[in-house]
Amino acid sequence: MLIPTTILLALSSALLPFLLHPLNKLLRNIILTIPPLLALLIIISQLNSQEVPSYQLSWLPSLGLDLYFESSYFQLLFGFFILFIGIFIHLFAVIYLQNDPSQKSWFFWFFMFMGSMLGLIFSANLFLLFLFWELTSLASFFLIGHYYEQEEARKSAWEALLITGGGGLCLLTGFIMIFIITGSVNLPELQDKFNNTSYPLLTNIAILLIILGIMTKSAQYPFHFWLPDAMTAPAPASAYLHSATMVKAGVFLSFRLSPIFSNLYLWHVLLVFFGGFTFFWGALCCLKENSIKKALAYTTVSTLGLLTCLIGIGTPEIIYSAVLLMFAHAIYKAGLFLFAGTIEFTTHHKYLSKIEGLWRKQPLFFMVALLSIYSLAGFPYTFSFHAKEELIRSIYRLNPSYIVMFSLLLIIGNSLIIGFSTRLFIIPLLRAKTKEATFHPGISSFLLTNIPLFFAIAGISIPLSKDLTGIFHKLSHNFIPNIVVEHSQNTTGHFQHYLLLLPSILSWSIGIVLGFYIIWKGNIINEQGITPFATRLYQHIIQQLLLQSDRITRFFQNGKLRSYLQTFAVAVLIVSFIAIVTEWEIIKANILTHIVRPEHKITKYDFILTSIIIAGIFGVIFARTKLTAVICLGIIGYGMAIVFLIFSAPDLAMTQFIIETLTVSLFVFVFYHLPEQPLYRRKTTKYQNLFICTLFGIVMGFLTLSASSIQTHPSISSYFTTKSLNEAHGGNIVNVILVDFRGFDTLGEITVLAIAGIGTYALLRYQRLKNHE
């Protein structure tokens, strides 16, 4: 029960800004932190308890949808990080957005995100997880598009929503497939059921789709481009969603699913391949990028790639080190993003080259950057150094060929990132070329500085504190059942220290040299930033999509009645032909009974009558004047009346006689005044129309034959025939049906007729009034 409470608490903060509208802005924003603080306390209390609490409530049992939450130690720790980082970023945002008129909606989506992220972390039901997954995408959309008056922000928000939302749909499909395969979507049950399945193809497709979802959410190549573009969001949102938490959702999901899919080849191959490439590609891109936030986003992409790759390798030690790396990254990256946010807030610049000379003007602020960069580069005694050390140790336990491969990947990727770190470190030390960059040290920028400083210090102090390392040691024992890490300070004796440090030292030295080289050759950096190929591809696809859909719409919605009718008729023909072909045997049997063994003898009068009607039809088509056409129409109508008369329907015959007389006189009345115009035809489409119409007529003839011979349900007519005389006291059954049994239908019919009559009258009268004027 406590876990759903934490989610609800975080969500309740979303509504508070609106409820507390009358209060002072600052007070209101401070009150907003209370519910997440309470949730944080709950989670801390849970961290110390031994058992794994879970909460289950049947919601839609027929769809396998339960409100099912569980909280292992790993999940609790992740939840702790979400709330902890979230509260500090909220405080930062309070100052950052103090003059923003629409800050209430920003806080709404911020806390919506916090709640749904917690839900995502704790949910143990895949469908529930998907629900929260899409909620986070939605919150991200609104937070990226916060400055909606800027076109760039709107575009980026759409991009993020389309990519992550589309990936979410893939994920849902994958989950549904898993539901089909195993019959369960509850994660704890899935573990056992998945091993003895016999759908290899479906399983692989499901895995492919789930990995697509993970890749889009966690910005893996080739879907990585939305993340740098999402940096149009206000800095706190970038720090929180697009580095510390939301983008980790994909990684988190692969953490949760890795024990289930651990014996499936495809899962490992895809994750390692795409993750590894993203690690390299993101690091390469961040070197070339000039905008601080975008470059940081590329380092995030790179780290996410590394995490995905590590989960793909999937030995318990490596997964544990990946968890450590993820937490370390969350802390220092939040600090770095807030640092970038402070720079934007105080100088309104977002390019790296504009922070030259920061060291002289704001030494304290520069310290923030220094400490965060220290963590980013993974220098000794930082949390990320600790995590990477753990990682290298666990890589050394793999096969020798893998050791070479992954060490090489790690060295290359890390040296690229360190090259970027060096740049970020050196540039503020340089003397400013221009004097325009002015920093306004004030109370707000003082506060803004302190929060990134806090994160920077946290990134370094965690491995130094005994209690905090204790938590992670506990984690190593708890979070995945089969993980066994004999872990304490002295296990490093197993390997030589220099061997452990070798990859790090190599990447540091290469990276620093690379960083200096790039600063020296300053012209490598494109001032306007880079547009990756994937972005251009995405833009091209979106553009083409709009263009083609416009073209298709114009083709079908061309405003011509004839083409609509043609489309309709062709669609009917296609459907009917499919039906005729598939049900040919039945139709043939029915038609034969009607042709070979007619139930009624056909008299010569029937032939004469039919011939007259058909002659009337031809007359209508080939008539040269309107009057001829109307006379032929009248012939058809009277012919119909005689048909009704012959086949035992006197009421119909009478009605048809009256109505036909009225129709013909109306035609004549209406067209009497109009000038005679030729009934022209267009030669070009004549044969096409003729073809469609002939086929349409044949299909309708088939329908008539089939309909008159097939009886799928018992007739209800006997009810009317037996009750007519006894209960309704009427001899003419048709009349009794109309006015008694189905009296309300007739009322409706009369209403329709009355409305048509009023419309007709109004149109005629309108015309008369016009004439009068």
CB count within 10 Å of CB 266 equals 16
| CA dist., res. 504 & res. 414, Å (int) | 8
Asked if residue 319 lies in contact with residue 255, where contact means CB atoms within 8 angstroms, the answer is yes
Smallest separation, CB 24 to other proteins (Å): 55
Looking at residue 148, what DSSP letter applies? T
User: In the complex with other proteins, which residue's Cβ is closer, 495 or 618?
Assistant: 618
Instruction: Spell out a b/e string for 132-142, using b for 16 or more CB atoms within 10 Å of the CB, else e.
Output: bbbbbbbbbbb
User: In the complex with other proteins, which residue's Cβ is closer, 1 or 602?
Assistant: 602
User: In the complex with other proteins, which residue's Cβ is closer, 499 or 763?
Assistant: 763
User: In the complex with other proteins, which residue's Cβ is closer, 488 or 648?
Assistant: 648
Smallest separation, CB 695 to other proteins (Å): 8
Smallest separation, CB 734 to other proteins (Å): 5
409: number of CA atoms within 13 Å, CB side?
Answer: 27
Q: What are phi and psi of 186, to 5 degrees?
A: -85, 125
Helices (H), 583-716: 584-596, 604-622, 626-646, 650-672, 686-709
Asked if residue 182 lies in contact with residue 197, where contact means CB atoms within 8 angstroms, the answer is yes
263 residue type, one letter = N
Smallest separation, CB 692 to other proteins (Å): 7
- With helix as H, strand as E and coil as C, how does 481-516 read? CCCCCCCCHHHHHHCCHHHHHHHHHHHHHHHHHHHH
| CA dist., res. 320 & res. 574, Å (int) | 59
- At 196 the three-state DSSP class reads coil
User: Token pair of 581, please?
Assistant: 């072909």
Smallest separation, CB 558 to other proteins (Å): 8
User: In the complex with other proteins, which residue's Cβ is closer, 488 or 718?
Assistant: 718
DSSP string, 358-407: HHHH-HHHHHHHHHHHHHHHT-TTSHHHHHHHHHHHHHTTS-HHHHHHHH
Smallest separation, CB 718 to other proteins (Å): 7
- With helix as H, strand as E and coil as C, how does 77-134 read? HHHHHHHHHHHHHHHHHHHHCCCCCCHHHHHHHHHHHHHHHHHHHHECEHHHHHHHHH
Asked if residue 440 lies in contact with residue 346, where contact means CB atoms within 8 angstroms, the answer is yes
Asked if residue 344 lies in contact with residue 439, where contact means CB atoms within 8 angstroms, the answer is no
709's CB contacts (< 8 A; 6+ apart) are: 590, 591, 593, 594
User: In the complex with other proteins, which residue's Cβ is closer, 440 or 560?
Assistant: 560
Asked if residue 322 lies in contact with residue 259, where contact means CB atoms within 8 angstroms, the answer is no
User: In the complex with other proteins, which residue's Cβ is closer, 541 or 666?
Assistant: 666
| CA dist., res. 210 & res. 206, Å (int) | 6
Instruction: Spell out a b/e string for 379-395, using b for 16 or more CB atoms within 10 Å of the CB, else e.
Output: beebbbbbbbbbbbbbb
Smallest separation, CB 714 to other proteins (Å): 12
User: In the complex with other proteins, which residue's Cβ is closer, 41 or 700?
Assistant: 700
Smallest separation, CB 549 to other proteins (Å): 21
Asked if residue 569 lies in contact with residue 692, where contact means CB atoms within 8 angstroms, the answer is yes
Looking at residue 149, what DSSP letter applies? T
Asked if residue 623 lies in contact with residue 679, where contact means CB atoms within 8 angstroms, the answer is yes
Smallest separation, CB 162 to other proteins (Å): 33
Asked if residue 211 lies in contact with residue 267, where contact means CB atoms within 8 angstroms, the answer is yes
- At 233 the three-state DSSP class reads coil
98's CB contacts (< 8 A; 6+ apart) are: 25, 444
Smallest separation, CB 644 to other proteins (Å): 7
| CA dist., res. 489 & res. 429, Å (int) | 37
Crossing angle of helices 34-48 and 2-19, in 10° steps, is: 170
Cα 594–chain centre separation: 55
- Radius of gyration of the chain measured on its C-alpha atoms: 38
Smallest separation, CB 566 to other proteins (Å): 7
Smallest separation, CB 756 to other proteins (Å): 4
- At 344 the three-state DSSP class reads helix
User: In the complex with other proteins, which residue's Cβ is closer, 466 or 729?
Assistant: 729
Contacts 24+ apart (CB under 8 A), 652-658: 652/734
User: In the complex with other proteins, which residue's Cβ is closer, 364 or 707?
Assistant: 707
| CA dist., res. 677 & res. 490, Å (int) | 104
- At 225 the three-state DSSP class reads coil
Smallest separation, CB 659 to other proteins (Å): 5
User: In the complex with other proteins, which residue's Cβ is closer, 180 or 690?
Assistant: 690
Smallest separation, CB 641 to other proteins (Å): 10
Smallest separation, CB 613 to other proteins (Å): 6
Looking at residue 52, what DSSP letter applies? -
- At 58 the three-state DSSP class reads strand
